[in-house]
Every structure is written in structure tokens, then in C-alpha cells.
Amino acid sequence: MGEAERGDSAPRLRIPFWCSNGHETQPSFASDAQIPETWDCPRCGFPAGKDPDNPPDPPRTEPYKTHLAYVRERRSDADGEAILAEALAKLRGEV
């Protein structure tokens, strides 16, 4: 089935986007479509913007934290000592 059977295609625009790694991508948009400010780079996955001299910063990823690291964020050393003393007292039958 060729283009003649489908009818005319919508007018298109190719808009260039650049990521922080210097990759350029040119997705095609309908001429009446709203053009987004950023576009995901198909090569590296970083966000790409329309300004080649000032591309968006790559997303900052947080390092993996263990359960113990999250507990240490919520509790002080003094809290930990108190909880440990209470648990040891229960085990010894002092409570």
C-alpha cells in the first residue's frame, strides 16, 4: 500500500536536539505539534535540549544505600546504644 492509497501525509518538521555528550538527534514532528523542551537522546539516554551550547545536565543518580545506611540516617549513635541496651536487657530477662 503506497502513499497514494493512504492520502497525503501531514507536514513535518525536523528539530535538532543535543545532549551533554554532544550527540545530536533530529526527531520529526508534525508542523502543528507542540515541540517539547527536552528529548531523550537515543544513543546515551541523557536529556537533550535545543541549544547545542547549553545542553541539559545529565540526571544525578543516587548511589545504592543499604538498609543499615537508611537506619543510620534516622538514628543517632546514642539512639542506637539505647535500643541495643534495651534489647540486651530483654534477652537477659532484666525487663
Q: Taking the CA of residue 64 as centre, how many other CA atoms within 13 Å lie in the half-sphere pointing to its CB?
A: 1
**Is 54 marked as binding a ligand?**
no
**Is 23 marked as binding a ligand?**
yes
**Whole-number Å distance between alpha carbons of 61 and 47:** 14
What cell numbers appear for 8 in the block? Answer: 497525503
**Is 58 marked as binding a ligand?**
no
Q: Which residues are annotated as a binding site?
A: 19, 23, 41, 44
Q: Which residues are annotated as a binding site for Zn(2+)?
A: 19, 23, 41, 44
